[in-house]
Amino acid sequence: MTTRRGTARLAKGALRALRLLAKPVRRSQGKAGTVVETYRGYGSRDEVFLIGRVFRQSQRAATGADEGWAAELRDIRRRITRRSVAGAVLTARFFGCTEEVVTDRDGYFRVHLHPRLPSPPEASWHTMELDLAGPEPVRAKGRVFIPSAQCRRVIISDIDDTIMHTGVANKLKMLWRLFVEDAENRVAFPGAAALYRALYAGPCGAEGNPMLYVSRAPWGLYDMLSEFFAMHRIPVGPVMFLREWGLSWTRPLPRRAEDHKRELIERMLTLYHDLPFILIGDSGQHDPEVYGQIVAAHPGRVAAVYIRNVSRGADRVHEIALLAEAVEAAGSSLVLAADSLAMAEHAADHGFIDRAAVAEVAREWNADGTVREARARPDRLPAQALRDVLGGAGATPPTVIVEPARPDPPA
């Protein structure tokens, strides 16, 4: 009985994996021939960016069987046999600005426009018109996110082991969790979705702050991640930056994850030059090193850094301590925490989110039925003390906050 149940589970998981792999084909289900596929763009009132791809694919087989292994395998075959269209010329139009772009050898095109007309201040998503001249005429539309006038800050967050538990240190586990596990089980960090909704809304509930997500995952997982975000109501869109295209418009090749993230944040700091930033990551990979470099290079631009504590090994002590020192020197805050609720409480204390949103994070945090132990108040330490705590032989506190010393109010 156990063997039969295990076999059924593997078969169900394998079929689910096939559906996810075939989803990019289903998005253009009725299309054959040349297809223009766009990913969500982003920008400001001064400049916007959008990436897409031009390819050719075969016609979907005319059959009434739209479910099961055979249908999914047919769609995967269509995806595998897609042929990139290199050298295709597209015309992009956005708020009175026109630009011609050419696809690279892999069929990708990158649009960088400077709009001539102001976008409506109350809207966040805008349409970009795209016309492909050949090899056959195609008209398409892309979506571009521009912060509204109510926006007050920019949030940049890692995905892997920060929002969604993927276990990037173990590649086999990562692939299983990304492709096979139920979407409902992919958020291993309760309260994260509610926290991100609160950061998007801001304390007034209508800020619509840019939520920019970066992942070490390959570009081909964009659709799966987008579905995951929508299922868990994680805002906005989402606008995502995956490692295969990075932030260089002339070099769409894979690069080291830390280079990818650092270049992304540097570009966003320039693009949104008049807004403060919140950086969210985890202690398991390169986030402490990258964030420490960013904060040190741009004092005053980063309001807070939240690090999810997923690894307490001795090899991470030095990097996290250096990040804490950089944050402290810049007059900012660092929260090292294992749970989203501690981050939400800090964010409410500093006016990043509405105080009422903390209760929503707490409800989501407890929604899985796990019995939570009583939570002690976070330790508020200077950076040097954090180094001593992390490097000590005792247990690491569940939540540590590092903030610059503030003068005592006059008596």
397 prior amide bond cis, ω within 30: no
Task: Please give the average per-residue pLDDT across 186-201, as a whole number.
Answer: 85
pLDDT in tens, 320-361: 888 888 899 998 999 998 889 999 999 999 999 999 999 999
Task: Note the pLDDT of residue 25.
Answer: 43
Provide, rounded to the nearest whole percent, the portion of the chain with pLDDT above 90: 33
Return d(Cα 107, Cα 56) in angstroms, integer: 10
Instruction: State both tokens at 207.
Output: 């800020």
pLDDT in tens, 259-290: 778 888 999 999 999 999 999 998 877 788 89
**Where do the domains of the chain lie?**
28-145, 154-402
- Amino acid identity of residue 229, one-letter, is F
pLDDT in tens, 136-188: 899 999 999 999 889 999 999 998 888 887 655 555 555 555 555 444 445 55
Cβ–Cβ under 8 Å, residues 124 and 148 = yes
Return d(Cα 85, Cα 102) in angstroms, integer: 10
Mean pLDDT for all residues in the chain: 77
Task: Note the pLDDT of residue 183.
Answer: 43
CATH superfamily of 154-402: HAD superfamily/HAD-like (3.40.50.1000)
Task: Note the pLDDT of residue 35.
Answer: 87
Return d(Cα 342, Cα 254) in angstroms, integer: 35
Task: Note the pLDDT of residue 341.
Answer: 92
Q: What is the pTM of this model?
A: 0.80
Instruction: State both tokens at 40.
Output: 């969500």
Please, is 330 exposed, middle or buried when counting C-beta atoms within 10 Å of its C-beta (0-12, 13-18, 19+)? buried
DSSP symbol at 312: -
What CATH number belongs to 28-145?
2.60.40
Task: Note the pLDDT of residue 101.
Answer: 97
To 10 degrees, the CA torsion angle through 126, 51, 160, 328? -70
To 10 degrees, the CA torsion angle through 157, 351, 210, 255? -20
Which of 58-72, 262-276, 345-359, 382-396 shows the lowest per-residue confidence on average (mean pLDDT)? 58-72
